[in-house]
Structure 1
Amino acid sequence: MGGIEESGSRTGVEVTAQAAVPGQAGPKPESADRRRWWRVLCRDVVHVRRYLTVLVNRDRVVLVGPPGRTVVLSTDGVGELSNALRRAADQARE
């Protein structure tokens, strides 16, 4: 899979450089390997495109799903979610 790539690639993962995270003081420049959140493409049960968001808030990893929705992940999506969670957990430990 080669890691998390930007939106528009075939992976379905959108990488963003900065996010508004409660409790953090002002925006900080972020390097490509120090992301604060990731969006993983998924579908709901009627096949509408949705996203799961993984973000780092201080020493915690937060998983945000679509409100009131159940999501369905492809096998590739499961791998991408696992990778995003692992990277977020590593950052939360720092």
Structure 2
Amino acid sequence: MWRINCGDVINRDRCLTVLAERDRVVLVGPPGETAVLTAGQLSQLRVALREAAEQAER
């Protein structure tokens, strides 16, 4: 499981969660919110998604 800190549209702290579950990758966003990510946070998300995809392929 990976957690990527982010914000919402009014700048509150939020979190995206990436899970590898069997042969699927699950991306969980803030409930009822929009996730706003900086370039650094997007890099973290990219890495988490790549690693989760690799785990899901096993």
TM-score (norm 1): 0.61
The residue number in structure 1 matching 2:19 is 55
The residue number in structure 2 matching 1:90 is 54
Deviation at 1:43, TM superposition (A): 0.1
**Unaligned runs of at least 5 residues, structure 1:** 1-36
Cα distance in 2, alignment partners of residues 45 and 71 from structure 1: 7
The structure showing larger relative contact order (alpha-carbon pairs under 8 Å, at least 6 residues apart) is 2
Runs of 4+ in 1 over 2 A off after TM superposition: none
Q: CA RMSD in A?
A: 0.4
SS at match of 2:30: coil
1:80 aligned to 2:41?
Answer: no
Q: Percent identity?
A: 55
Larger-gyration structure (1/2): 1
1:41 aligned to 2:18?
Answer: no
Q: Which has the higher strand share?
A: 2
